[in-house]
Amino acid sequence: MQQFETLLTEITSNIITVTINRPDKLNALNKACMQELDALFTTIEEDESIRCVIITGAGPKAFVAGADIAELHELTPEEAKSVSEFGQSVFNKIELLAKPVIAAINGFALGGGAELAWSCHIRIAAENARFGQPEINLGLIPGYAGTQRLARMLPRTKAYELLLTGDAFDAATALHYGLVSKVTKAEELLPAAGELAEKLAQKPAKVVSLLLKALQSAAETFQLDGQSLEASLFSSCFCTEDFKEGTSAFLEKRKPIFKHR
Ligand code: COA
């Protein structure tokens, strides 16, 4: 695995933990960090030994406190458009990854940090996590697809309220909104993410990738088109060795041994 300036990576038994590592800036996403995330997720996509990803932030205070405001401050409108388009492409790469991505949110997830979390497949949060899209208070709107993802995940009235006020909210509220699936004590966050990742890494990897493709299309497609894609992906499962193994194991009353083929 390559070395990065702003990211830490650790691989244990088919799971990669990616830590955004700028704790002195509350892990704010600068240009280097976005470029490194882009490169790393290409590697993760290509590396068949990796079956699940955990993303978290370094230090006890922040997951990611936003895009780097010092860098934003200097941009021309033209540069801002490219920054937004590149950021969207990086987060799309995360959302469209053919392996599950878990956000382990260990503190502030604001602005670009919230948008990073929204692009992950499953989010779990520590009790001290604080979420928000405060861009409006900086004279901005979200630029890494936060307006699009949040408006699709929340009831419209709540999305409008949160984006227009820029107000932050805590982990319990995020759980109530359905934006995270679990809240843990701070010290239990990474163990909980690890346990979930281990569970997902044991599922048949090819079939997981087909399932993710079906789920990823759900937000983007008319239902009948989505159903047609689902039928094709369902049929593709029947080409995998793991489908034969999973169904044989059930019929033979034993546990399946998946080979991820
Ligand atoms: N971009 C650049 N630097 C940031 C940052 C960001 N999004 N968020 C925090 N930092 C930096 C601070 O400037 C500070 O750097 P310094 O020590 O060199 O002055 C350092 O991280 C620590 O932050 P600080 O503000 O001192 O911590 P705090 O505990 O008092 O406040 C926050 C924490 C999250 C409330 C506050 O940092 C904040 O409001 N950050 C910006 C959040 C935001 O608007 N994000 C959306 C950006 S689009």
In the chain, where are the structural domains located? 7-201, 205-251
Please tell me the distance from the alpha carbon of residue 114 to that of residue 64, in angstroms, as a whole number.
8
Please tell me the distance from the alpha carbon of residue 173 to that of residue 257, in angstroms, as a whole number.
40
Q: What is the pLDDT of residue 1?
A: 79
Which of 26, 75, 133, 136 most suits a substitution to test ligand 1, by most atoms within 8 Å of the C-beta?
26
**Residue whose CA is closest, atom 4 of ligand 1?**
25
Higher pLDDT, 234 or 189: 189
**Residue whose CA is closest, atom 12 of ligand 1?**
25
* CA distances, 144 to each of 66, 81, 114, 196 (Å): 10, 11, 10, 27
Residues 226-238: pLDDT tens digits? 888 888 888 898 9
pLDDT at 220 over 90: no
> Given 115, 161, 230, 245, which residue is catalytic?
115
pLDDT at 139 over 90: yes
Residues 62-116: pLDDT tens digits? 999 999 999 999 999 999 999 999 999 999 999 999 999 999 999 999 999 999 9
Average pLDDT, the chain: 95
Token output for 217:
């299309």
Tell me, yes or no, if 252 is annotated catalytic: no
Tell me, yes or no, if 115 is annotated catalytic: yes
Residues 198-207: pLDDT tens digits? 999 999 999 9
Q: What is the pLDDT of residue 45?
A: 97
Residues 128-138: pLDDT tens digits? 999 999 999 99
pLDDT at 223 over 90: no
Please tell me the distance from the alpha carbon of residue 218 to that of residue 229, in angstroms, as a whole number.
10
178 secondary structure, DSSP code: T
Binding site membership of 115 for ligand 1 (Cβ less than 6 Å): no
Place of tokens 């949110």: 105
Q: What is the pTM of this model?
A: 0.96
209 phi and psi angles, rounded to 5 deg: -65, -35
Q: CATH homologous superfamily of domain 7-201?
A: 2-enoyl-CoA Hydratase; Chain A, domain 1 (3.90.226.10)
Q: What percent of the chain has pLDDT over 70?
A: 100
Q: What is the pLDDT of residue 222?
A: 84
pLDDT at 219 over 90: no
Please tell me the distance from the alpha carbon of residue 21 to that of residue 10, in angstroms, as a whole number.
13
Q: What is the pLDDT of residue 98?
A: 97
Residues 113-130: pLDDT tens digits? 999 999 999 999 999 999
**Residue whose CA is closest, atom 18 of ligand 1?**
25
Higher pLDDT, 28 or 220: 28
